[in-house]
Amino acid sequence: MHAFTHPPLLRRTLLGLAVATALGASQAPAGEVEVLHWWTSGGEARAANVLKELMEAEGHGWQDFAVAGGGGETAMTVLKSRAMSGNPPSAAQIKGPEIQEWGELGLLGNLDDVAEQGGWNALLPETVADVMRHDGQYVAVPVNVHRVNWLWANPAVLEAAGVEMPTSLDELFAAGEAIREAGYVPLAHGGQAWQDATVFESVLLATGGVDFYRQALVELDPEALGGDEMVEALTTFKRLRELMDDDMSGRDWNIATSMVIEGDAAMQLMGDWAKGEFTAAGLTAGEDYLCAAAPGTGEAFTYNIDSLAMFRVTDEAEHEAQQTLARLVLEPTFQEAFNLAKGSIPARPDLDMGAFDQCAQQSLADFQRTAEAGGLVPSMAHGMAVRADVQGAIFDVVTNYFNARDMEAEEAARRMVNTAQAAL
C-alpha cells in the first residue's frame, strides 16, 4: 500500500506510536504527580530527587511540593488547607496514625492492585504494613524505616576533650562537662518543639525504660504520665540544657548537625536523617563521625516510618502515575538509592545491605533484635505513636517546660495528664 493512502487518523496514530517508541515511554498514559513532603535539607533533597528521577524515567512528570520545616508540622498545615479547598496533591508524606485520619475522611486512593502485584504482604514486616492500610486496604507506601534514638558525634572533638562515646546518661553529662571545658558545645540542638520532643522521648526511654515509654507515650496512661518516672524524665531532660548553647532557639536540625560536622559541637541527639547530612558532606561513618544508640537506650528502637499516601484522583493519567509511584517506591533500585541518601534503612528487609554503612547495618540489626525482644516502639515525636492533636498537645507541654524559667517538673507532668485526658 502506498504510504500516502493511510487515512489521516491512522497516520496520526502511527506517528504517535513512533514518537512514543522513540521516547521509550511505557504503555501507560504519561501523568503527573504532585508530591508534598518536607525533605528540604541537603541529604533529604538528594533522597527525594531519587524518586523524581525514577518517575521521569518512566515518562511521568513530578511536581515538587516541598514545604520546609523539620518534622513536617508546617507541611501538614499546608496539606490540610489544600485538602479543605478540594485540591489535595496526588501524593503526600503522611505517617503513622495520621494515615488513618485521612483515610477516615475518605480522601485516600486504593493501592491494593499495586500491592498485590508487588507482593507487599509477603515483603513488608507486619509492623510496617499495618500502618499503610486503612480499613484493610493499602492507601500508602512505606519508603523507609528511620530510627530516632541515635546519638551522633564528631570523634575529633571527643578526642580533644579526652572522652569516649557515652553509653549512659551519667556518661553523657560527664563527657559534656569535659567537652565544655575543652571549648566546644557538648550537644548541638535546635530549639524547636519537635526537636525538643525528639530529645525528650530518648531521655524518657533511658530513664524510664521501654515499658514506661509505652505506657506514657503510646497508651497515654494517666498514672504513667503523671507519676514519679515522668517527673524524673522531665527533670533529666531539662538538665540537658547544661550541654546546649545559648543560640539554639529556632535553629533548624540540619544546622545543628552541621555544628557537629564542622567540629564546633561534639554530639547531637537526632534521628538518622542526620546521617543524610553527614553523607551529603562526603563523610564516612565510623571514621569521620560516630553513631550509637542514644545513651541508655541500647535495648530500644524508636521507629519512624516515612510513607507516601495517595489521594483519590479522577484523572486516569494521574491515577496511572500514582500507581507507578507506589510501585517504584518498593522496588530495590529506589529503596537502596533513597535510603543511602536519607540515612534510613529500607522498608523491605530482604534487600542486600552491602552498600550501606555500619550505622545502617546496626540499625537493621537493632530493629530485628528489638522487634523480637520487645524493645521496638513507635516514635511519639515523629507521629508514629499517637494522633496528631495529642502529639501537638504533648509537644506544647514539653517545649513550654523546657523553656520555662520557673515551671516545676511536677507541674509539667500534671499538664501531660490533662492533655491526654482531653484527647480520650
Question: 193-213 and 228-239 are packed helices; what angle lies between their axes, rounded to 10 degrees?
Answer: 140
44 binds ligand GAL (CB under 6 A): yes
- The only residue of 31, 43, 72, 89 in contact with ligand GAL, by rule CB under 6 A: 72
C-alpha 16: how far from chain center? 42
Of 146 and 214, which has the nearer Cβ to ligand GAL?
146
Residue 367: all three cell numbers together:
530493629
Q: How many CA atoms lie within 13 A of 422 on its CB side?
A: 12
Binding segment toward ligand GAL, per CB under 6 A, in 12-20, 66-74, 98-106, 408-416 = 66-74
Of 154 and 304, which has the nearer Cβ to ligand GAL?
304
* Smallest distance, ligand GAL to C-beta of residue 39, A: 6
- The only residue of 31, 34, 38, 92 in contact with ligand GAL, by rule CB under 6 A: 38
Give buried/exposed letters for 47-68 (b at 16+ CB in 10 A, else e).
bbbbbbebbeebbbebeebbbe
* Smallest distance, ligand GAL to C-beta of residue 93, A: 7
* Smallest distance, ligand GAL to C-beta of residue 157, A: 23
Of 175 and 248, which has the nearer Cβ to ligand GAL?
248
C-alpha distances (whole Å) from 348 to each of 141, 307, 336, 364 are: 11, 13, 10, 11
39 binds ligand GAL (CB under 6 A): yes
Query: Which residue's C-beta sits nearest to ligand GAL?
Result: 70
* Smallest distance, ligand GAL to C-beta of residue 416, A: 21
306 binds ligand GAL (CB under 6 A): yes
User: For residue 9, how many other CB atoms are within 10 A of its CB?
Assistant: 8
Of 267, 314, 63, the closest CA to residue 153 belongs to 267
Residues 364-383 that bind ligand GAL (CB under 6 A): 382
Residues 220-259 that bind ligand GAL (CB under 6 A): 253
* Smallest distance, ligand GAL to C-beta of residue 291, A: 16
Of 151, 203, 133, the closest CA to residue 381 belongs to 203
* Smallest distance, ligand GAL to C-beta of residue 92, A: 13
Is 253 in contact with 113 (CB distance < 8 Å)? no
* Smallest distance, ligand GAL to C-beta of residue 40, A: 8
Of 309 and 412, which has the nearer Cβ to ligand GAL?
309
DSSP bridge partners of 309: 92, 140
Binding segment toward ligand GAL, per CB under 6 A, in 67-75, 82-90, 105-113, 149-157 = 67-75
- The only residue of 102, 273, 356, 367 in contact with ligand GAL, by rule CB under 6 A: 273
146 binds ligand GAL (CB under 6 A): yes
Collapsing DSSP to helix, strand or coil, 295 comes out as: coil
Is 78 in contact with 94 (CB distance < 8 Å)? no
Residues 322-361 that bind ligand GAL (CB under 6 A): none
304 binds ligand GAL (CB under 6 A): yes
Of 71 and 88, which has the nearer Cβ to ligand GAL?
71
Collapsing DSSP to helix, strand or coil, 357 comes out as: coil
Give buried/exposed letters for 388-424 (b at 16+ CB in 10 A, else e).
bebbbbbbebbbebbeeeebebebbbbbbbebbeeee
Long-range contacts of 166-171 (CB under 8 A, 24+ apart): 166/295, 167/292, 167/293, 167/295, 167/296, 167/298, 168/206, 168/295, 168/296, 169/203, 169/206, 169/207, 169/236, 169/295, 169/296, 171/295
176 binds ligand GAL (CB under 6 A): no
Binding segment toward ligand GAL, per CB under 6 A, in 55-63, 65-73, 325-333, 391-399 = 65-73
Size of the site for ligand GAL (CB under 6 A): 12
43 binds ligand GAL (CB under 6 A): no
Of 196 and 306, which has the nearer Cβ to ligand GAL?
306
**Using the 8-state DSSP alphabet, how is residue 311 labeled?**
B
* Smallest distance, ligand GAL to C-beta of residue 227, A: 28
Q: What is the widest separation between alpha-carbon atoms in the chain?
A: 92
Of 132, 94, 93, the closest CA to residue 112 belongs to 132
**Site of grid cell 503513622:** 96
C-alpha 123: how far from chain center? 20
* Smallest distance, ligand GAL to C-beta of residue 138, A: 20
- The only residue of 70, 96, 103, 109 in contact with ligand GAL, by rule CB under 6 A: 70
190 binds ligand GAL (CB under 6 A): no
* Smallest distance, ligand GAL to C-beta of residue 196, A: 14
Say which residues have a Cβ less than 8 Å from residue 184's Cβ, sequence separation at least 6.
157, 160, 161, 263, 264, 265, 266
Q: Which residue ranges make up the site for ligand GAL (CB under 6 A)?
A: 38-39, 44, 70-72, 146, 253, 273, 304, 306, 382
